[in-house]
Structure 1
């Protein structure tokens, strides 16, 4: 029993330190925070999907909106300065990014979903890695995207609203510094 308690005391600081290290890398521009959009119930998009018409898409529900607000609060606790925010052009991603209220999200087509043949996953993932190939960014950066994009880059199947901090330069699979649950 004493050995188990000692082991717990040894492991607890290590886990906290790993989280602190990942957050520090993100704050210093040595890592990205990659996030799946907040909860928008369903799978894929309805028939008649139009990129510029949110009424034709799956959208955030009230729980998803609350998730996005909580993410914004958590990220502002981690960093008080300017945060670069990129988003897929899908409404559920843009809405997640806007509700976080970190900065004006910049739509980035490389983050658009390629689910159900909407794009070329391999080419998009390679292009995304190339886009973020620099060793260090000027400020903390958040990417809001979809499950398929997230999984292609990390090998992780995230729930809606989950995130990871990944090291720069991006690789495939990405070097995951921390997995972050929905706040």
Structure 2
């Protein structure tokens, strides 16, 4: 249980480790310091978009057929962008799932978004396409890890992050990713701006 004088949201923003948080929610070292050091990816789940799935017959490129951010989600994405900008943290590259809720999250937080199908929802793909996307993501993470002093931002879906790391994420939560000694993706820190 969280002590009464500590707000869990502030711990996640700071990236402080705390034994009373569950393993899935426990942040690693300071997310800000990790991003400043670079050689990492800030992989974000899109901001709040009420619901659980896209409507039947949704179409990429047609936001009217998809589940989208609500006003709270838009405010959440703006807060994330402001938090990073206030600390002088600017990604060298911003990639996003081509789904509208991810693109909008990226554009509100960072002012730009490069659509990248590898970050797309695996719920819309075949098993072979999803496996190929994971290989692309691991390769891009390896490339990002080779560049200390800079970081990339990726905006994607809960299912992509779960497939990559086997962890859950909240709407708008960021995972700071690096590589383990074995070359596999490794969770280094978590970031959730309240």
* TM-score between both structures, scaled by the size of structure 2: 0.75
Per mean C-alpha deviation after superposition, the further-off stretch among 112-121 and 102-111 is 112-121
Distance, in Å, in 2 between the alignment partners of 1:136 and 1:78 is 23
Rounded to whole Å, the distance in 2 between the matches of 1:55 and 1:82 is 29
Deviations 1:76-116 (A, max 9, x none): 1232555421111100000000111x242111111011115
Residue 165 of structure 1 pairs with residue 173 of structure 2: no
C-alpha distance in structure 2 between counterparts of 1:113 and 1:171, whole Å: 24
Give distance in 2, aligned partners of 1:80 and 1:132.
Answer: 18
Alignment coverage as a number of residue pairs = 166
Give the aligned partner of residue 54 of structure 1.
Answer: 63
Do structure 1's residue 104 and structure 2's residue 115 form an aligned pair? Answer: no
- Within the candidate set 105, 112, 130, 1:121 is matched to 130
Deviations 1:122-179 (A, max 9, x none): 221122111232232363211000011011111111121111111147954x311112
**How far apart are residue 64 of structure 1 and its match?**
0.4
Report the Cα distance in structure 1 between the residues aligned to 2:158 and 2:91, rounded to whole angstroms: 26
Q: 1: distance between equivalents of 2:51 and 2:76?
A: 17
- Identify which range, 58-67 or 79-88, moves more after superposition: 79-88
1:1-183 equivalences under 5 Å are 15=17, 19-20=29-30, 22-81=31-90, 83-100=92-109, 102-115=110-123, 117=125, 120-134=129-143, 135-137=145-147, 139-168=150-179, 172=184, 174-183=185-194
Query: Are the equivalent residues in 2 in contact too, given 1:44–1:116 (CA < 8 A)?
Result: no
Root-mean-square deviation (Å): 2.4
Separation in structure 2 between the aligned mates of residue 110 and residue 93 of structure 1, nearest angstrom: 13
Under a length normalisation based on structure 1, what TM-score does the superposition of the two structures give?
0.80
What's the CA shift for 1:28? Answer: 3.2
Higher helix share: 1
**Whose radius of gyration is greater, 1 or 2?**
1
